[in-house]
Amino acid sequence: MNTKLKPLRKHLLLAGLVALLPATSWAYAGSDAERIQKLEQQVNLLLERLSAQESQLNQQQQDISETKAATKGNVIASTNGRSLTFKDADGDFSFTVGGRLQADAVYHNEDDIKLGDGSRFRRAFLDIRGTVYRDWNYRFQYDFARPGGSDNSQRGIRDAYVQYTGFTPDITVGQFKQPFGLEHLTSSLNTTFNERALTNVFNPDRAIGLGLSHGGSNWSLSGGAFGEKAEVDPADEGNEGWGLVARGTFNPIIEKDRLVHLGAAVLHRNPEEGDLRFRERPEANVTGVRFIDTGTIGNVDDYQQYGLEAATVLGPFSLQSEYINTRVQRGSGDKNLNFNAWYVYASYFLTGESRGYNAKSGAFGAVRPNSTVGQGGIGAWEAGIRYSRADLNDGSFIGGDQDNLTLGVNWYATDNIRFSANYIKVLDVDRPGNAADGEKPSIFALRGQIHF
Amino acid sequence: MNTKLKPLRKHLLLAGLVALLPATSWAYAGSDAERIQKLEQQVNLLLERLSAQESQLNQQQQDISETKAATKGNVIASTNGRSLTFKDADGDFSFTVGGRLQADAVYHNEDDIKLGDGSRFRRAFLDIRGTVYRDWNYRFQYDFARPGGSDNSQRGIRDAYVQYTGFTPDITVGQFKQPFGLEHLTSSLNTTFNERALTNVFNPDRAIGLGLSHGGSNWSLSGGAFGEKAEVDPADEGNEGWGLVARGTFNPIIEKDRLVHLGAAVLHRNPEEGDLRFRERPEANVTGVRFIDTGTIGNVDDYQQYGLEAATVLGPFSLQSEYINTRVQRGSGDKNLNFNAWYVYASYFLTGESRGYNAKSGAFGAVRPNSTVGQGGIGAWEAGIRYSRADLNDGSFIGGDQDNLTLGVNWYATDNIRFSANYIKVLDVDRPGNAADGEKPSIFALRGQIHF
Amino acid sequence: MNTKLKPLRKHLLLAGLVALLPATSWAYAGSDAERIQKLEQQVNLLLERLSAQESQLNQQQQDISETKAATKGNVIASTNGRSLTFKDADGDFSFTVGGRLQADAVYHNEDDIKLGDGSRFRRAFLDIRGTVYRDWNYRFQYDFARPGGSDNSQRGIRDAYVQYTGFTPDITVGQFKQPFGLEHLTSSLNTTFNERALTNVFNPDRAIGLGLSHGGSNWSLSGGAFGEKAEVDPADEGNEGWGLVARGTFNPIIEKDRLVHLGAAVLHRNPEEGDLRFRERPEANVTGVRFIDTGTIGNVDDYQQYGLEAATVLGPFSLQSEYINTRVQRGSGDKNLNFNAWYVYASYFLTGESRGYNAKSGAFGAVRPNSTVGQGGIGAWEAGIRYSRADLNDGSFIGGDQDNLTLGVNWYATDNIRFSANYIKVLDVDRPGNAADGEKPSIFALRGQIHF
């Protein structure tokens, strides 16, 4: 650039010298001829300076055009402070990469049944999503904390789908969460307690299928037809089960920090080879022990579930409850079964924040702390209490009836980092004839979580 | 920026006022003294304006230089509409991230042997490749749909190599596809049918080794020495097998949408501990059943394969065929064995596209639909028919002789998204004495595929 | 851009023509009136040219401002020639993606015990790290070469932690290397030999825990409390072990290519359920055979380790040594045990480079070759020799006492690509009563390594 500047600088110098002339000649005026000669000199110098400027202008123009051309069509990176997104100028293409990590340490004050204390990763997601062309989106999540195991499972694969948003409703094909249950559909990043309530025994999890979904500013509708989650064992030649699911939500009140959520969902399913099993850990995941477990229920024709959801947010205070009923229809000679589960919980932000909510999906979202640790703040502090119960006993069928009380504290250090402590008291297990009957352990669970 | 503009604007205003003067004085001319004075005023204003411009020019120059300096050495992101590539200005460094997802749902109209219906992910690749320095390239692909399993396998690792392109030929070290077989070397994204033909029973798959490759506008040559694919079981203390492979292809015709491909390949291999097994699923992958299976052939000294390939593309029409012969040399007391397999297929694009082809690697490439769904188009539609046969019977040795007929439809919604439906009719299995003998199931397979 | 240039070009043309006038009129002077008229014409043209320039200047100003606005807040990509880093302008956010691949081929000249020759991936890391907000960092590494296995292990997860650097010392929570052992804490990318020495039998590996670390220009201190590495088997209800570790290092000399490193570390640990096992492969990893193995030592109360480290770098020459002593305290009725291991090695760069070192972590770092292959250079060449011994015999307890001699050559083709050949001679195994007793195999190991 220096060499290009030189001609201009020379002119500036000359111009500076000449600029002194008119100042003096002005005062003394001089003869017409002298004045004209001075003007002619000045005009000539002006012409030279102008020409030099024109050269520089054109050079700059070229530089600017080159910069524009070089960046035209570039993909631009941006971030929301968590994940990293790349987009082209047309918006035809996008790519986002993120992840989540949850590390747990859990201590058990056991009753009779041994529960192993320890630490492990609860989730370790890589999360890739994007747009390949306009309305064609995709998402792929893998959970490195769920290794393959001896059954050759693909269970590390979480969301893995293609979505077309060019129609109403949106069409999704692949593996994704079946639309059933408020806590089930709220990301594990945003559930108030470390583990979902005992109702989780009935949550249908992700499966491969086709889904339709649509929603507005205060409602959502979604449904789909599903096979099973990515096959556990290709060497198992049983025909996979299949099912239908539908869910609707409505928000009579939805304001910045005031919300009422109402939801209902139904599910019909034919299980693989007529075999069905419900079982659940005690709202803690380092142990492999399940106090409630139906074992394999054979001779099942199909089963139906319905779920009811209600929640409210009033500033820092929130209340949430769900009830799920499950009816198992069995073939001749075997009794139909009726199970149910429910929970209710309250949470309060000591630091004044409100829970986030997404009306289009009818589920709770992220909490944004008012202040952040590392910027003079203390983050967000939330306290919660939950009662939760699942009843897998029906008449003489004894899968177990458990109720839990949980106390929880969440510390949101930043938008992306949360530390949680949960105390879970198993109030009772009613499962006559099984070792789990009457077990009342207490469990203390710590979690560190980052979302990027 | 505003403050910098102000001086210039003031001058523009003054200049605008003064600019009116000469227009009037021109018409009326006036006395010489008046005209000179006016000129002197104008020239002084011109000088001021010029100086103001010079300031602005220099300011802009600085801005432009700063922008150039700030972006110098930056890595620039771009996309081909699928994967995302980062390059530095010198081209010394590049990094590309992409992936592929294939979800299958398969229904079997069984004969006697049970084939489990169901859905699963056929492939879920993360694909990272790049240049670390000039001619030093690498690639790493992991298939999340192939979990570890109980055998502690590294089979999720697909391509994983370093390549040096500073010489002729290119040198590749690591794990990559052994150069044998047209359909084998065509990416699973671009095969005409969901699964490769029954000839796949002899395809040598990827292995860890050293390869040399070179190619021109209408030919390719490649070869290598290979161990086995990433070791299945480190606790197994058998010495790995090793082999040599070479392949050449030639295109007597290669135009935009007219192509003739001819290819031949040879392979020699000493299997681990003298044990060898060939077996293949029925061109469908949700089931684990193989109708043809040699079982473990012991006492093998070595084996040789040769393969012949021919294909043509005539606009939307394409014809492709392969033949593979395998000769197993066994030690004293055991009979040598001779197996073979072949297929032939035709495909036609109803929407007029042609199959893509890459002469340098001698394999078929991607299809680019003429119109895209979501932009008023219908994508590309392709119909295909294939006959495929593998004969693992030799004299009294009965591994099975199977022949299949496949009808396929592919819908390429965009460059990156393909939906496929295949109907596979097992015409016959000739395997006397085995349960598979005479099996003639029909199979209906659906696939959704995205490539990013 | 063309249309904007046109007005200016027109003016340039006019100006060019007019510029000829004064040159002639100067020579011949003419009457005052003629000279004034010429001046008036020139000044008017000058005004037009100035106005045109002003338009263009303002247009350019807008372009420059737009470019600045468009890139403001963008995340900028950069590279160190290996990994790829994204940062926002404030430095509040960063994201780095990289990886490493190590492919091994190993041949064994066996004695009595069979050691399987073969090739496999030693490591295949994806490595993601970043800053989510100012002082809050994270790192996640996954090793695709360590599949899940039948024990449902999370052992593919390597570093996985959140770190807060807003205090002194830095606080790390999650899974990371326990601070013990110089060779252990030196990345596998930068160890002089393919595998760590036999002292590795006592290295504590990564574990989930909380660590504190701080360091200066010639010292480092770190410590932590740890559970176990990510749980192998959640179905195993034993309570995890836990331990405390601390390490300090000091550099009396630390210059560009002259270094003295001194270090010491202590470890106390209570193993899970009182069971402890030490075992190690023969500095080669394709085989699963361990010549030394304590088997499960039961009735262990706790154990302590101390380690001493010394190393020096003198230009191309380097010397390094470590000694580790392990004392196992057992309950009543069982004898306490005392094991130890040590190594010493020398390395020399034939091409004159020096080993890299990081004082803040007290561990060796990367080698930068003076010249690079592909740019006329030959890379860096290093030769090394190591003697290594581990003694797991104590009195009547016979875990084995092995000593190895290793010769190694490393070729650093570029900053990121290294090829290595190691010859390992097992000098002796002293383990009376076990098949391994007296085994003296030689092992030839090749490695190709890329780091991106």
pLDDT at A29: 52
Contacts of B365 (CB under 8 A, 6+ apart): B186, B187, B190, B355, B356, B357, B358
Q: Fill in the amino acid letter for A153.
A: S
From B100-114, B255-269, C48-62, C436-450, the region with the lowest mean pLDDT: C48-62
Check CB contact under 8 Å for B92 and C81.
Answer: yes
C74 in A contact zone (CB under 8 Å): yes
* Lowest mean pLDDT, pick from A70-84, A164-178, C272-286, C419-433: A70-84
Task: Kindly determine whether residue A47 and residue C19, on different chains, have CB atoms separated by under 8 Å.
Answer: yes
Contacts of C379 in chain B (CB under 8 A): none
Is B60 in the C-facing interface, judged by CB distances under 8 Å? yes
- Is some CB atom of chain A closer than 8 A to the CB atom of C172? no
pLDDT band at A7 (very low <50, low <70, confident <90, very high): very low
Return d(Cα A448, Cα A404) in angstroms, integer. 23
Tell me if chain B has a CB within 8 Å of the CB of C74. no
- Residues of chain A with pLDDT > 90: what percent? 69
Cβ–Cβ contact B6 with A under 8 A? no
- The lowest-confidence range among A51-55, A172-176, C274-278 is A51-55
pLDDT value at position B6? 46
Higher pLDDT, B240 or A346: A346
C145 with B46: Cβ contact below 8 A: no
CA distance A352 to C345: 61
Tell me what pLDDT residue A4 has: 43
Q: What is the pLDDT of residue A152?
A: 61
Over 60: is that where the pLDDT of A1 sits?
no
The residue-averaged pLDDT of A321-350 equals 97
B78, B118, B148: residue with CB nearest A73:
B78
User: What pLDDT was estimated at residue B8?
Assistant: 46
**Residue A288 and residue C235: Cβ atoms within 8 Å?**
yes
| Chain A interface includes B150 (CB < 8 A) | yes
A89 in reach of chain C (CB within 8 A): no
Asked if B265 contacts B178 with a C-beta cutoff of 8 angstroms, the reply is no
Per-residue model confidence as pLDDT tens digits over A364-395? 999 999 998 877 889 999 999 999 999 999 98
Would you say C203 and C180 are in contact if contact means Cβ atoms under 8 Å apart?
yes
- Chain C: touching chains (3 or more CB pairs < 8 Å): A, B
C14: pLDDT confidence band, cut at 50, 70 and 90? very low
Alpha-carbon gap, residue C198 to C10, rounded angstroms: 83
| Mean pLDDT of all residues in A176-191 | 97
Q: What is the 3-state secondary structure (H, E, C) of chain B?
A: CHHHHHHHHHHHHHHHHHHHHHHHHHHHCCCHHHHHHHHHHHHHHHHHHHHHHHHHHHHHHHHHHHHHHHHCCCEEEEECCCCEEEECCCCCCEEEEEEEEEEEEEEEECCCCCCCCEEEEEEEEEEEEEEEECCEEEEEEEECCCCCCCCCCCCCEEEEEEEECCCCCEEEEEEEECCCCHHHHCCCCCCCCCCCCHHHHHCCCEEEEEEEEEECCCEEEEEEEECCCCCCCCCCCCCCCEEEEEEEEEEEEECCCEEEEEEEEEEEEECHHHCECCEECCCCCCCCCCCEECCCECCEEEEEEEEEEEEEEECCEEEEEEEEEEEEEECCCCCCEEEEEEEEEEEEECCCCCCEEECCCCEEECCCCCCCCCCCCCCEEEEEEEEEEEEEEECCEEEEEEEEEEEEEEEECCCCEEEEEEEEEEEEEECCCCCCCCCCCEEEEEEEEEEC
- Please tell me which of the candidates A97, A126, A374 has its beta carbon nearest to residue C133: A374
**Set of chain C residues whose Cβ sits within 8 Å of the Cβ of B208:** 103, 105, 119-121
Q: To which CATH superfamily is domain A76-451 assigned?
A: Porin (2.40.160.10)
- Could you identify the residue written with the tokens 């500076």? A16
Backbone angles phi, psi at A354, to 5 degrees: -120, 155
What is the identity of the amino acid at A241? G
pLDDT-based confidence at residue C1 (cuts at 50, 70, 90): very low
Residue C150 forms contact with B (CB below 8 Å)? yes
Of the candidates A409, A366, A360, A368, the residue with the CA atom closest to the CA atom of residue A386: A409
Contact C61 B57 (CB under 8 A): no
**Residues of chain C contacting residue A121, judged by C-beta atoms under 8 Å apart:** 154, 157, 160, 175, 208, 230
Query: Smallest Cβ distance to C53: which of A53, A121, A147?
Result: A53
Q: CB contact, 8 Å: C237 with chain A?
A: yes
Would you say residue C24 has pLDDT above 60? Answer: no
CA A271 – CA A300 distance, rounded (Å): 7
Any B CB within 8 A of A77 CB? yes
Q: What is the pLDDT of residue C323?
A: 98
Q: Name the residue with higher pLDDT: C159 or B240.
A: C159
Q: Write down the pLDDT at residue C234.
A: 60
**How much is the mean pLDDT over chain A?**
89
* Chain C residues with CB-CB distance to A288 below 8 A: 234-237
- Cβ–Cβ gap C120/B208 under 8 Å: yes
The pair of three-digit structure tokens given for residue B302, joined into one six-digit string: 């070595």
B273: contact with C, CB 8 A cutoff: no
The predicted model scores a pTM of 0.89
* Per-residue pLDDT, B1: 36
Cα A85 off chain centre by: 14
For A85, list phi and psi in degrees, rounded to 5: -120, 140
Write out the DSSP string of A190-249.
T-SSSS--GGGGG---EEEEEEEEEE-SSEEEEEEEE--SS-S-TT--PPPPEEEEEEEE
Q: Do C77 and A79 touch (CB under 8 A)?
A: no
Nearest to A160 among B82, B124, B417 (CB): B124
Q: How far does A28 lie from chain B, in Å, by closest CA?
A: 12
Structure tokens at B139: 């690639």
Q: How many angstroms separate the CA of residue A239 from the nearest CA in chain C?
A: 25
**Could you state, in order of their start, the residue ranges of all structural domains in chain C?**
2-71, 76-451
Which fold is adopted by the domain B99-124+184-203+228-451?
Answer: Porin (2.40.160)
Q: Rounded distance, CA C376 to CA C382, Å?
A: 19
Task: Enumerate the residues of chain B whose CB falls inside 8 A of the CB of residue A140.
Answer: 99, 101, 124
**Cβ–Cβ of B240/C415 closer than 8 Å?**
no
pLDDT in tens, C302-361: 999 999 999 999 999 999 999 999 999 999 999 999 999 999 999 999 999 999 999 999
Q: How do residues C226-257 score in pLDDT, each as one tens digit?
A: 998 876 566 678 888 999 999 999 999 999 88
pLDDT at B28: 47
Indicate the residue of C57, C68, C417 with minimum beta-carbon distance to B53.
Answer: C57
> Does residue A118 sit at the C interface (CB-CB below 8 Å)?
yes
Render each residue's pLDDT in chain B as its tens digit; 452 residues. 343 444 445 454 444 444 444 444 344 456 888 888 888 888 888 888 888 888 888 888 887 777 766 666 678 888 888 889 999 887 789 999 999 999 999 999 999 999 999 999 999 999 999 999 889 999 999 999 987 655 567 888 999 999 999 999 999 999 999 999 999 999 999 999 999 999 999 999 999 999 999 999 999 999 999 998 876 566 678 888 999 999 999 999 999 889 999 999 999 999 988 899 999 999 999 998 999 999 999 999 999 999 999 999 999 999 999 999 999 999 999 999 999 999 999 999 999 999 999 999 999 999 999 998 877 889 999 999 999 999 999 988 999 999 999 999 999 999 999 999 999 999 999 999 999 999 999 999 999 999 99
